[in-house]
């Protein structure tokens, strides 16, 4: 089993106030696919706007023979019944580990024009 996405934690705001009930999707994409479609995990933001998604893990015996691969992933939110891309990434890594980073994000103005700040970390102590 290898990771196909980083671990993701974040918070969603609108006009500086936390927003609950926003569906957030972490997507492990196939090359060339839509940014918000693929193998996915979905969670709903809590009363503090907080979102916590563990990594998507997958075993692919063909990839194991290749040793390295690109892992494309996205963070999307469902706004007004449409999926909106908040952030995407592409990691090159050994296939038996996949992306090993942790991503934390903070998005504001989620209903009008989402603006997200992203922090990538390799610190596993948080």
pLDDT in tens, 47-79: 999 888 665 544 444 444 455 466 788 899 999
Q: Does 2.60.40.10 match the CATH number of domain 2-121?
A: yes
Spatial distance between the Cα atoms of 24 and 42, rounded to a whole number of angstroms: 6
In this prediction, what percent of the chain has a pLDDT beyond 70? 67
Which pLDDT belongs to residue 82? 94
In terms of pLDDT, which residue wins out, 3 or 109?
A: 109
Spatial distance between the Cα atoms of 22 and 19, rounded to a whole number of angstroms: 7
Which pLDDT belongs to residue 69? 60
Q: Which residues of 96-125 are buried (b: 16+ CB within 10 A; e: fewer)?
A: eebbebbbbbebbebeeebebeeeeeeeee
pTM of the full structure: 0.76
Q: What is the 3-state secondary structure (H, E, C) of 12-51?
A: EEECCEECCCCEEEEEEECCCCCCCCCEEEEEECCCCCEE
In this prediction, what percent of the chain has a pLDDT beyond 90? 34
Question: Over the stretch 103-121, which tens digit does the pLDDT of each residue have?
Answer: 888 999 999 999 999 888 7
Which pLDDT belongs to residue 100? 62
Spatial distance between the Cα atoms of 106 and 114, rounded to a whole number of angstroms: 10
- Range in 11-25, 31-45, 51-65 the model is least confident about: 51-65
């Amino acid at each position: 089993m290898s990771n196909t996405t980083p671990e993701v934690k974040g918070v969603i705001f609108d006009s500086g106030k936390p927003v609950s009930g926003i569906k957030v999707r972490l997507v492990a994409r196939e090359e060339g696919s839509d940014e918000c479609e693929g193998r996915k995990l979905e969670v709903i933001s809590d009363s503090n706007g907080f979102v916590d998604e563990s990594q998507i893990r997958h075993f692919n015996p063909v990839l194991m023979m290749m040793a390295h691969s690109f892992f494309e992933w996205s963070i999307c939110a469902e706004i007004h019944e449409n999926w909106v891309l908040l952030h995407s990434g592409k990691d090159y890594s050994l296939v038996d580990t996949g992306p090993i980073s942790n991503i934390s994000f903070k998005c504001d103005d989620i209903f009008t024009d989402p603006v997200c700040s992203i922090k990538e970390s390799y610190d596993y102590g948080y």
